[in-house]
Amino acid sequence: SEKLRMEPPGPTPLPLIGNLLQLDLRRICDSYMELSKKYGSVFTLHMGTKKVVFLTGYKTVKEALGVFDEQFGDRDPLAIAWELSNGHGVTWSNGDSWKEMRRFAMTSLRDFGMGRKVCEEKIIEESQHLVDVFRKFKGKAFDTTQSMNYAVSNIICSIVYGSRFEYDDPEFTSLVDESQARIHLASSLSLQIYNMLPSLFSWVPNRKKFFILAAANKSQNTIFFNRLKQTFDPQRCRGLVDAFLLRKQQLKDLNVSNSHFHDENLMMTVINLFGGATDTTSATLRWGLLYMAKYPKIQDKVQEELRTVIGDRQVQMSDKKNLNFTNAVIYETQRLASVVPMSLPHRTSQDVTFQGHFIRKGTTVYPFIRSVHLDESQWARPESFHPLHFLDEDGKFTKRDAFMAFSAGRRICLGESLAQMELFLFFSTLLQRFRFTPPPGVTEEELDLTPRYGMLTTPSLHTLCAVPCESE
Ligand code: HEM
């Protein structure tokens, strides 16, 4: 019919597998970029039997998540995420339950974290622990992944449970390591294929592994929840879990049936906050350090600015406005790395006609953030690491409309301000204390920036030297 003809264009699919053979699953983002050059900024791909619409480039993504926010604002849960969450929590849910949990999570982040002096202090304390860990390597090359994950996870622990953990506490390390392993598995080739064709590929071993890790994660959380319940004091909420338990009790006292404040929503919301907060922030920081080692002249300028503006004292949030170059480097890191390249899958909540294309209700939609960050109409040097993208003629930091690392619209990352606080304080504290260089025997030119693609774009396995600065 006429409507069918107006659907977004795309390569012809094969039965069952759709366009899978036309994609390079190991560097899938590059495949999407090439397809958008061929078919335009709105195109259709058949991922297995599922029809998926891709939105690419600044103008298109901006319009979709702005003017068409309502139409494009539902979540389309990945098969594996649906199996894990059953529609509970924040990230993979929709409707009233999503609305309530999102509102609750945001209020709790505000009360126990974001935008508060207390949270700044927590991050500063944590950055000092991280500095201590880096110092122990005495300038020898090491992989920063694990310590970075611990530091970043601890911020979420403070907000959720009300306390941080020591980096050698086995309850904490297993929580973080298993959660990291689970997110890693979710990006594996076999689970990507499972997500497209769940009924055919439910046998893949990684699916079983994923749920073993998820079960371990849930039981560890149950232990933490029970401990909090034993010492619960409604007058003194220590963190998000306490606040949830209080709300649950209050609603029960009011005889509210069908409340969304039930145990499954608590568990999934906590898992979503850890899942959303840890690898994203940690990978961004690791990209930042890698870019510094790769581009020593830019690192010189960051350190020069930190020396002049801050000196030896601890960096604080109030310094941010005076650290224009450092701030531009952090934003440029987020742009070029595009750690969450595809955003998360959205779904149309109704039939929509968008830029002349007909998109049926219930269609999976990916706002392709990476393509916005590489849009030639928006960035002077899209493929380079170029902090000037975020500086005006006077060298002052300037926000850019085409910066979308946290996505946009009603599904925008709910941890954005916390993440920005962490990126700023961790990055500038580390750069104040250490010079980052490639491992011995590797030149800056040889330092590999090839990403490891998955749901997240992380640096490939690498080591760096953190050489203490002279004043240390
Ligand atoms: C540099 C760090 C981070 C980046 C780049 C990032 C990016 C994103 C992106 C692109 C989305 C998808 C938005 C969409 O569907 O359009 C998202 C969602 C989300 N993020 Fe983040 N994020 C970061 C840190 C955090 C932190 C610190 C938290 C928690 C405190 C968090 C919690 C979440 C949650 C719960 C969602 C799902 C929101 C919803 O579906 O309503 N993220 N994030």
CATH of residue 352: 1.10.630.10
Cα separation values, 97 from 5, 46, 102, 123, Å: 36, 30, 8, 31
Count Cα atoms within 13 angstroms, Cβ side, for 164. 19
Taking 60 as the threshold, does the pLDDT of residue 2 lie above it?
A: no
Which residue among 267, 281, 413 has the greatest number of ligand 1 atoms within 8 angstroms of its CB, and so is best to mutate? 413
What are residue 464's DSSP bridge partners?
A: 142
Q: Residue 197 Cα, ligand 1 centroid: separation in angstroms? A: 26
The alpha carbon of 75 and the centre of ligand 1 are apart by a number of angstroms equal to 13
Cβ atoms of 436 and 466 closer than 8 Å: yes
The pLDDT assigned to 471 comes to 59
Q: Are 379 and 403 in contact (CB under 8 A)?
A: no
Judged against a pLDDT cut of 80, whether residue 113 lies above it is answered with no
pLDDT number for residue 423? 98
Quote the radius of gyration of the chain (alpha carbons, Å). Answer: 23
pLDDT of 370-393, one tens digit each?
Answer: 999 999 999 999 999 999 999 999
Tokens of 5: 């003809």
- Closest ligand 1 atom, CA of 284? 1
The answer to whether 48 and 197 are in contact (CB under 8 A) is yes
Cα(242)–Cα(152) distance, rounded to whole angstroms?
A: 21
**CA of residue 276 to ligand 1 center, whole Å:** 5
Residue 141 has pLDDT above 80, yes or no: yes
| 92: nearest Cα among 157, 216, 156, 186 | 186
User: Which one has a higher pLDDT value, 257 or 421?
Assistant: 421
pLDDT at 404: 98
Establish whether 413 is an annotated binding residue. yes
Would you say residue 297 has pLDDT above 80? yes
Give the ligand 1 atom nearest the CA of 422: 27
Smallest CA separation from ligand 1 atom 19, residue: 413
pLDDT at 21: 86
Average pLDDT over residues 438-445: 96
133 or 28, higher pLDDT: 133
Q: What per-residue confidence (pLDDT) applies to 455?
A: 86
pLDDT tens for 52-73 read 999 999 999 999 999 999 999 9
Give 168: exposed, middle or buried? Use CB within 10 Å, 0-12, 13-18, 19+: exposed
- List pLDDT tens digits, range 182-230: 988 998 889 988 998 898 899 999 999 999 999 999 999 999 999 999 9
What are phi and psi for residue 426, nearest 5 degrees?
-65, -50
Assign 443 to helix, strand or coil.
coil
Share the mean pLDDT of the chain. Answer: 94
Determine the distance separating the centroid of ligand 1 and the alpha carbon of 20, expressed in angstroms: 28
Interacting residues of 247 by C-beta distance below 8 A, sequence separation 6+ = 104, 261
HEC sequence for 1-22 = CHHHHCCCCCCCCECCCECHHH
Query: In which residue are the tokens 């403070």 written?
Result: 158
Residues with CB under 6 A from ligand 1: 75, 90-91, 102, 109, 272-273, 276-277, 280-281, 284, 339-340, 343-344, 367, 405-407, 411-415, 418-419
State percent of the chain over pLDDT 90: 86
In the predicted model, is pLDDT for residue 280 greater than 60? yes
Q: Residue 176: give the domain boundaries.
A: 2-468
Distance of alpha carbon 340 from alpha carbon 455, whole angstroms: 7
The answer to whether 72 and 94 are in contact (CB under 8 A) is no
Report pLDDT for 4: 53
Q: What is the distance in A from the centroid of ligand 1 to the CA of 340?
A: 9
Q: What is the pLDDT of residue 462?
A: 96
C-alpha–C-alpha distance, residues 215 and 161, integer Å: 19
Per-residue pLDDT at 255: 92
**What's the gap in Å between 91 CA and the centre of ligand 1?**
8
Place of tokens 């000092």: 128
Query: In angstroms, rounded to a whole number, what is the distance separating the alpha carbons of residues 113 and 158?
Result: 8
- What's the average model confidence in pLDDT over 301-307? 98
Torsion of CA 295, 338, 81, 51, to 10 degrees: -140
pLDDT tens track for 230-273: 999 999 889 999 999 999 999 999 998 889 999 999 999 999 99
Which amino acid residue places its CA nearest to atom 21 of ligand 1? 413
- pLDDT at 184 (0 to 100): 87
How does residue 114 score in pLDDT terms, banded at 50, 70 and 90? Answer: low
Residue 78: which of 237, 232, 193 has the closest Cα? 193
Strand ranges, E, within 38-163: 42-47, 50-55, 74-75
Residue 327 Cα to ligand 1 midpoint, Å, equals 20
Task: Work out the angle between the directed axes of helices 145-160 and 170-186 (0-180°, nearest 10).
Answer: 110
- Cα gap 137→133, rounded to integer Å: 7
**pLDDT confidence of 354, banded at 50, 70, 90?**
very high
Pairing verdict, β 364-367 and 50-55: parallel
DSSP string, 227-291: HHHHT--TTS--SHHHHHHHHHHHHHHTT--S-S-SHHHHHHHHHHHHHHHHHHHHHHHHHHHHH
pLDDT score, position 115: 61
Residue 68 contacts residue 352 (beta carbons within 8 Å): yes
Asked if 338 and 283 count as a contact pair (C-beta separation under 8 A), the reply is no
Share above pLDDT 70 across residues of the chain, in percent, rounded to a whole number: 98
Q: Is 153 helix (H, G, I), strand (E, B) or coil?
A: helix
Q: What is the pLDDT of residues 144-187, one digit of tens each?
A: 999 999 999 999 999 999 999 999 999 999 999 999 899 889 98
Q: Which atom of ligand 1 is nearest to the CA of 367?
A: 16
Element (H, E) at 85: helix 79-85
Average the pLDDT over each of 21-25, 156-160, 203-207, 396-400 and give the range with the smallest value.
21-25
For 432, phi and psi rounded to 5 degrees? -70, -35
Count of domains forming the chain: 1
53 DSSP β-pair partners = 44, 365
Q: In terms of Cα–Cα distance, which of 389, 249, 407 is closest to 343?
A: 407
Best residue among 272, 274, 280 to mutate for probing ligand 1, ranked by most atoms within 8 Å of CB? 280
Residue 385 backbone class (left: φ over 0; alpha: ψ -120 to 50; beta: rest):
beta
